[in-house]
Amino acid sequence: MSSPDQTQRFLFDQSQIRGEITGLRQSYQDVLSKHNYPQPVQRLLGEFMAAVALLSDTLKFEGRLSLQVRGAGQVRMLMAECRDHQALRAIAQYTDDFSDSAALLGKGQMAITIEPDQGKRYQGIVPIDDNDQTLSRALEDYFRQSEQIRTRLWLAADGQSAAGVLIQAMPQSASEGSLQSSDTDAWDRVTHLADTLSDDELLNLDNETLLHRLFHEEQVRLFDSHGLHFECTCSRERCGNAILTLGETEALQVVDEEGAIHSDCQFCHQQYRFDRDEVTALFSEHRQTLN
């Protein structure tokens, strides 16, 4: 991966098929550095981060796209999000007695949530089962069932880098996502070629080399890439809003018991502390804004 931490679009010039390719290194390392995750959880986090980067780039909206899974396996919760096509963060919660041999997610449910800055929040739910189905399969099912857009994904992560490729039939005005017969041939050919991609190639080749190796007999147009980085959306203001939802009596009770209200962001470990005066000020300012 010569140019990591970016996504790049590509297009098959002679058919209604488009693609996205992403590679993550620093953004992925920044997420892993916040917790001491077991190796299999690191890999899963990388795949989820690559997936949100790819999905976010297929949608034309400003806002937040997230994938959140809750499983019956050792990983109880895993969440990755991409904001405004560039800011990534992710977190996983897993059992204390983690074992490499037991199921990672087991049977679970995955929520795909799209929260545009303007407009309605959307959420789709798909089952996920890592006994017989990977994240890419679950996402492909999601596109087939809800969007009816033919989509394939290839994801890989190894604790150092994470990467992904998405290939999608372009929505067409008459029948969304359906292809002309010549395009169906192209779809079969292109996805068959992408199926030959090894995790090693996906993680280590730069975009141009990888696309050339796979599709040198197709006409592929590669667009400008854009950057991705780790960024948390926590803030003192958001933390204050969370305290307001407790109500003043309960908030002050916490202050009495613990000296102050402490909050540690799970994503970035930023610590926020509100002492009695700050909690009191928070509620009095809030009352003023209501009046």
| Footprint of Zn ion (CB under 5 A) | 232, 234, 265, 267-268, 270
Of 222, 164, 215, which is closest to residue 193 (Cα–Cα)? Answer: 215
CA distance 212 to 195: 15
Q: Which is nearer to Zn ion, 86 or 151 (CB)?
A: 86
Q: Which is nearer to Zn ion, 143 or 230 (CB)?
A: 230
Q: Write out the DSSP string of 63-89.
A: EEEEEEEEESSSEEEEEEEEETTTEEE
Least separation, in Å, of the C-beta of 257 and Zn ion?
Answer: 25
Least separation, in Å, of the C-beta of 234 and Zn ion?
Answer: 3
- Residue burial 29-43, b: 16+ Cβ < 10 Å; e: rest: bbbbebbebbebbbb
Q: For CA atoms 150, 147, 73, 115, give the dihedral sign.
A: positive
Phi and psi angles of residue 84, each rounded to the nearest 5 degrees, phi first: 50, 40
CA distance 153 to 139: 8
Q: Which is nearer to Zn ion, 255 or 265 (CB)?
A: 265
Least separation, in Å, of the C-beta of 235 and Zn ion?
Answer: 8
Least separation, in Å, of the C-beta of 54 and Zn ion?
Answer: 23
Q: Which is nearer to Zn ion, 225 or 263 (CB)?
A: 263
Least separation, in Å, of the C-beta of 267 and Zn ion?
Answer: 4
Q: Which is nearer to Zn ion, 160 or 270 (CB)?
A: 270
